[in-house]
Amino acid sequence: MQQAINGIFLGSIYALFAVGYTLVFGVLDILNLAHQAVFMLCAFAALTLVGQWGMHIALALPLAAALGGILGLVLERIAFRPLRGRSDSNISGLISSLAAATIFEAIALQLFGPDVSRFPFGSFPDRPLHLGHATVSALQLTIVAISVALMAILTALLRATPLGRRIRAVAENPRAARILGVDVDRIIAWSFFISSALGGAAGVLFGLAFNSVSPDVGRSIELKGLAVIILGGMGSVTGAVIAGFAIGILEVFTVARIGSSYRDAVSFAVLFLILLVRPRGLLGQAATREA
Amino acid sequence: MPLSVEKVERAFGGVRALDGVTFTVGEGEVHGLIGPNGAGKTTLLNVVSGLLRPSGGTIRLGEHRIDGRPAHQIAARGIARTFQNIRLFAGLSAAGNVIVGEHLVRKAPLWRRMLLLPAARAEEKAALDAALLVLARVGLRERAFDTASALSYGEQRRVEIARALARSPRVLLLDEPTAGMNAAEVAAVEKLIREVAAEGRSVLLVEHNVRLVMEVSDRITVLNFGKVIANGEPEEVARDPAVIAAYLGADT
Amino acid sequence: MPDFLLAYQSLFAFIGINGLLALSVYCTLCCGQLSLANAGFMAIGAYAGAILTQNFHAPFGLAILAGTILPAVFAVPLGLPVLRLRGVFLAIATIGFGEVVRLAFVNWDYTNGALGLVAIPQKTGLWTIWLALAFALYVLGRIRGSRPGYALEAIREDEPAARTMGIATTRYKVSMFALGAALAGLAGVLEAHLTFMVAPNGYGFSRAVDMLVYAVVGGTTAFYGPVIGAAFLTLLPELLRGGGQALGLAPGPLRLFLNGAILLAVILFVPNGLASLPAAMQIFRPRRPPRSAALR
């Protein structure tokens, strides 16, 4: 029970992070490898706002997420838009996003140093709650609530708003969407904004949850995010949400049964297994290239 | 029958792009495949050449079933094709493209080249000479060393045909070979198609130029909404009310 | 040995090793695939070689052989299922693989976990490195223009079209993936016996990105491009060290920033890399294009 709760808690952050990956992949068919760097920079931003400026976390979280969104727009502008229409854009997009990630990491390293930074003590009121035999902290509960709420908002936005419909149209078929009068470039920019804002929010929540942020914090979540989108099916938001919780829970149980040194091996095992048996994941489209 | 297509189906999501398509192409036969836009002609070529898996039906080349086989194995059995939206290897020269087309018929072990053996040089020269011969056949001997992307539209289409012919295929699939060509180029392609058929190869020709199809084809299959609506000799097909309705209905 | 060579011996050694690593990335890039596993393969090669010479006193030649072949053996089962799929899956699987290799070595007590192996006998000479580099260049240069070479270029340009030419694309991609793994492993053995030590953190993700930067910046349309990129980027920090200090930037972040910025600039503005610049600017315009070059 305790482990299931911890798993859901961890999974909610993984899912929130991976939803951003999968959204951009769905729209652009390109994996944004700088997503983890946005995650990391936003965690640092929240930490600076709270720690140095004494801001309340409830204000710092949306501000950091907004910063993430802006970083997403910058990313789209400098690393993706110039490559659009190039015949090798899927591979050059991977490379340019990697370049952007490296630049972001260099900036974090210069500004914050290589060591782990922490939120000041008591920046979030935290007290344990008891659920039967299990203990949940108010912090954990809040984090799960916020990420579930954000994912619900995203789902509603995609399903029921004009912007959401346009995003889905572009994801389905950019050429047809353009013919139907959708401003594809704008929709792609919006997708980056939303994706990176969610990734940034995940970064802040992750920083709060483990109270440790360092320039390489994105690395470990990247692997999990990739495992999540592979399991969920590339481009499927619902799949990413389900897979995020699944991998979170799986990881917690593995650590409890086998040992913490295998924490990250879980993601790779899942990832490779899915590629072996069902590359399209739970809810994705075909994974082999046809015609 | 070199190529027989039987009850072939292919669906995209809920759309049935091919719905029980059946026809055969005989040896040395030029078989026209026509139909309005979106009728499933290119989908059929993709299924026959192995780029798409059929969702049902069988395709035979000679006695061998080839449906659902990987594209490179189908190619090895003797099917070659061109593409509607020209897909040359843009960074390679015209001759380089044709040499890629010879991939299946030419043996040139890498170790000989690594050891700088004279045999390797001879093999490379043979490959190039063969490529130049095929290019000469489509009238492009002079442009052999130009990068493919620097060629004109019509020239690129001809390089694609040369690339497909380079390995002496049993069946040649041509997807709109004359689109965007001028009258002289169309006439040259028409002559080439007749020559290829005279060598005993089968040609499956998808073409929008109805006059050309009527002139050059021995038999014609008409597709509409993924279904065969007519099949026969050109004159028969041209008189078929279903065909006329499909074409008039599609405003062509 | 001339004074000049002595003074810069280690720099030249690292140009050679980085050149090998760049070529290992080139092996997959030249058929249009992005692999980020080569730091992991390098680690496997380095550890295999170091264990052989240090614990079993094996001759260096045997260590080189083992360190070259073993990564390729790992590459085949990793590449086979993934290389059937679209390119992005290789990037994802190899990011995961690199991380798992690093973690495996961190958790392996036999090799001292995160501390790694130290006091590996120094056996690598400058000439060994450059001989290995010359060999790799020769092999890759001869592949160009051969039957498999044309197949690889066709795969890079248009994979489905290449399949309809009868090219077994997965087999070619897996072969090149394994060759890249072998070269990375070779570089790993050589580096381990040059710096006397191996540790898991030397083979992390940033190492994989470094190699990619060398290859892309140098350019992958010519087989020697990656080596030019490796030389340029190995020398650059030496040249810029003074400038960075003057601006108050720490060398670590500065190097990282330059890597990212140069990579981005090259992919945006010089997609064929530095090696393509002379031709693009027509500095060395040949009087008559040689026949073999025109074929390309």
DSSP for B66-86 reads -TTS-HHHHHHHTEEE--TT-
| Interchain pair B51, A290: CB under 8 A | yes
Question: To 10 degrees, what angle do helices C251-269 and A89-112 make?
Answer: 160
Nearby residues of A205 by Cβ (< 8 Å), 6 or more positions away: A13, A16, A61, A143, A146, A147
Q: B171 to chain C: which residues are within 8 Å by CB? A: none
Within 10 angstroms of residue C117's Cβ, the number of other Cβ atoms is 20
The amino acid that residue C16 corresponds to is G
What is the rounded distance in angstroms from the CA atom of residue C261 to the CA atom of residue C263? 5
| A284, part of any domain | no
A7: pLDDT strictly greater than 70 = yes
Write out the residue range of the structural domain in which residue A35 sits: 2-218
Residues of chain C neighbouring A101 (CB-CB closer than 8 A) = 260
Angle at the Cα of B105 from the Cα atoms of B104 and B107, rounded to 5 degrees: 95
Instruction: Find the CB nearest B89 among C139, C153, C289.
Output: C153
Paired tokens of C187: 């570089």
Q: How confident is the model at residue A193 (pLDDT cuts 50, 70, 90)?
A: very high
**3-class DSSP state of B201:** coil
Residues of A (122-181) whose Cβ lies below 8 Å from C? none
Q: Which B positions 97-126 lie with beta carbon below 8 A of chain A?
A: none
Instruction: Inspect the interface and report whether the beta carbons of B110 and C142 lie closer than 8 Å.
Output: yes
Q: What tens digit of pLDDT does each residue of B158-205 get?
A: 999 999 999 999 999 999 999 888 899 999 999 999 999 999 999 999
Once rounded to an integer, what is the mean pLDDT over residues B6-22?
A: 88
Residue A189 lies in a domain: yes
How many residue pairs bridge chain A and chain C with CB atoms within 8 Å of each other? Answer: 132
Is A225 within a domain?
no
Residue of A nearest to C255 (CA): A106
Q: Quick check: A87 and B51 CB within 8 A?
A: no
Write out residues 117-146 of B within 8 Å (CB-CB) of C.
Answer: 120, 124, 127-128, 145
> Containing H/E element for B20?
strand B15-25
* Cα distance between residue A222 and residue A267, in whole Å: 10
Q: What pLDDT score was predicted for residue C110?
A: 92
Q: Closest Cα partner for C49 from C230, C253, C191, C237?
A: C191
pLDDT of residue A282 exceeding 90: no
Distance from CA of A289 to the nearest CA of B (A): 9
| Structure tokens belonging to residue B42 | 């290119």
pLDDT of amino acid B38? 82
* Packing angle of the helix pair A217-232, A237-257 (nearest 10 deg): 120
Which helix H or strand E contains C137, and what residues bound it?
Answer: helix C126-143
Is the pLDDT confidence value at A289 over 70?
A: no
Nearest residue, CB atoms, C165 vs list B75, B113, B127: B75
Can you tell me whether residue B87 is helix, strand or coil?
A: coil
Q: CB-CB: which of A83, A90, A291 is closest to C87?
A: A90
Give the pLDDT band (50/70/90) at residue A266: confident
Question: CB-hemisphere CA count at 13 Å for A145?
Answer: 7
Give the per-residue pLDDT at A126: 67
**What's the rounded Cα separation, in Å, for the pair B97 and B151?**
13
- Structure tokens given for B45: 């070529």
Contact check, Cβ <8 Å, B110/C160: no
The Cα–Cα gap between C73 and C71 comes to 5
Contacts A291 to B, Cβ<8 Å: 46, 51-52
The percentage of chain A sitting over the pLDDT mark of 90, rounded to a whole number, equals 38
Q: Give me the residue label for tokens 């920090």.
A: C237
- Residue A277's pLDDT band, with cuts at 50, 70 and 90, is confident
Are C167 and B72 a contacting pair at CB < 8 A? yes
Residue B244 is predicted with a pLDDT of 84
Report residue B119 CA to chain centroid gap. Answer: 33
Nearest to B72 among C168, C289, C295 (CB): C168
| Residue A260 in domain | no
The DSSP secondary-structure symbol of A113 reads -
Alpha-carbon distance values, C239 to C122, C215, C232, C264 (Å): 28, 20, 10, 20
Task: In whole angstroms, give the CA distance from residue B4 to residue B62.
Answer: 8
A30: pLDDT confidence band, cut at 50, 70 and 90? Answer: confident
Contacts of B176 (CB under 8 A, 6+ apart): B84, B206, B207, B208
Between CA A145 and CA A149 the distance in angstroms is 6
End-to-end CA distance of chain A: 49
Q: Which DSSP state fits A78? A: I
Residue B210 confidence (pLDDT) above 50: yes
- The b-or-e profile of B138-173 (16+ CB within 10 A means b, else e) is bebeebbbbbbeebeebbbbbbbbbbbbbbebbbbb
What is d(CA B192, CA B181) in angstroms, rounded to the nearest whole number? 14
Query: What distance in Å separates the CA atoms of residue C77 and residue C79, rounded to the nearest whole number?
Result: 6
- Contacting chains of B (3 CB pairs or more, <8 Å) are A, C
pLDDT at position C296: 40
Pairing assessment for the beta strands A134-137 and A128-131 based on DSSP bridges: antiparallel
Residue of A114, A276, A287 lying closest to C86 (CB–CB): A287
Within chain C, which residues score under 70 in pLDDT? 1-7, 244, 280-296
Confidence of residue B252 (pLDDT cuts 50, 70, 90): very low
Residue A256 banded pLDDT, cuts 50, 70, 90: confident
Q: Give the closest of A88, A90, A98 to C209, CB-based.
A: A98
The number of distinct structural domains making up chain A is: 1
Rg for chain C, CA atoms, rounded: 19
Q: Which chains touch A (3 or more CB pairs under 8 A)?
A: B, C
Preferred mutation among B83, B107, B113 to probe C, highest tally of C CBs within 10 A: B113
Q: What is the pLDDT of residue C6?
A: 65
Kindly report the nearest CA distance between residue C129 and chain A, in angstroms. Answer: 28
Residue B222 pLDDT > 80: yes
Work out the burial of residue C147: count CB atoms within 10 Å of its CB; fewer than 13 is exposed, 13-18 middle, 19 or more buried: buried
pLDDT of residue C18: 96
d(C-alpha C269, C-alpha A57), whole Å: 42
Q: Please list every residue in chain C whose beta carbon sits closer than 8 Å to the beta carbon of residue B91.
A: 153, 156-157, 221, 296
pLDDT tens for A207-253 read 988 888 888 888 889 989 999 999 998 888 889 999 999 999 999 88
A265/A251 Cα distance (integer angstroms): 9
* C258 to chain A: closest CA residue: A103
| pLDDT at residue A206, as a whole number | 92
Residue of B72, B89, B124 lying closest to C158 (CB–CB): B89
**For B86, nearest residue in chain C (alpha carbons):** C161
Q: Are B135 and B159 in contact (CB under 8 A)?
A: yes
Q: Which residue has the higher pLDDT, A88 or C67?
A: C67
Residue C115, SS3 per DSSP: helix
Among B103, B108, B114, beta carbon nearest to C165: B103
CB contact under 8 A, B46 and A87: no
Q: What's residue C280's pLDDT?
A: 66
Q: Counting one residue from A and one from B, how many pairs have CB atoms under 8 Å apart? A: 7
Whole-number pLDDT of residue B249: 61
A-chain CB neighbours of C96 within 8 Å are 223, 226-227, 267-268, 271-272
Instruction: Enter the DSSP assignment of C287.
Output: S
- Eight-state DSSP code of residue C200: G
- Do you know the residue count of chain C? 296
Question: ∠ CA B44-A175-B88 to the nearest 5 degrees?
Answer: 55
- Name every chain B residue with its beta carbon within 8 A of the beta carbon of A172: none
C265-286 as b/e: b if 16+ CB within 10 A: ebbbebbbbbbbeeeeeeeeee
In the stretch 65-104 of chain A, residues with CB closer than 8 A to chain C read 78-79, 82-83, 86, 88, 90-92, 94-96, 98-104
DSSP secondary structure letter of residue B59? E
pLDDT digits (tens, 9 = 90+) for B76-109: 999 999 999 999 998 899 999 999 999 888 887 8
Classified as helix, coil or strand, A144 is helix
Q: Are A18 and A228 in contact (CB under 8 A)?
A: yes
Q: Are C257 and A99 in contact (CB under 8 A)?
A: no
Q: Taking each helix axis as running N to C, give the angle between helix C87-106 and helix A263-277, from 0 to 180 degrees, rounded to the nearest 10.
A: 150
Say what the pLDDT of residue A291 is.
Answer: 40
Among all chains, which residue has been given the structure tokens 């890079």? C156
| Gap between the Cα atoms of B72 and C166, Å rounded | 4
Distances (CA, A) of C168 to A115, A275, B95, C32: 49, 20, 21, 15
Residues of chain C in Cβ contact (below 8 Å) with chain B = 138-139, 142-143, 145-148, 150-151, 153-154, 156-158, 160-169, 221, 289, 291, 294-296
Answer whether residue A39 is part of any domain: yes
The minimum CA-CA distance between A185 and chain C, rounded to whole Å, is: 18
User: CB-based contact (8 Å) between A243 and chain C?
Assistant: no
Residue A181 or C184, more confident? C184
Nearest CB to A99 within list C32, C81, C260: C260
Q: Which chain C residues are within 8 Å of B141, Cβ to Cβ?
A: none
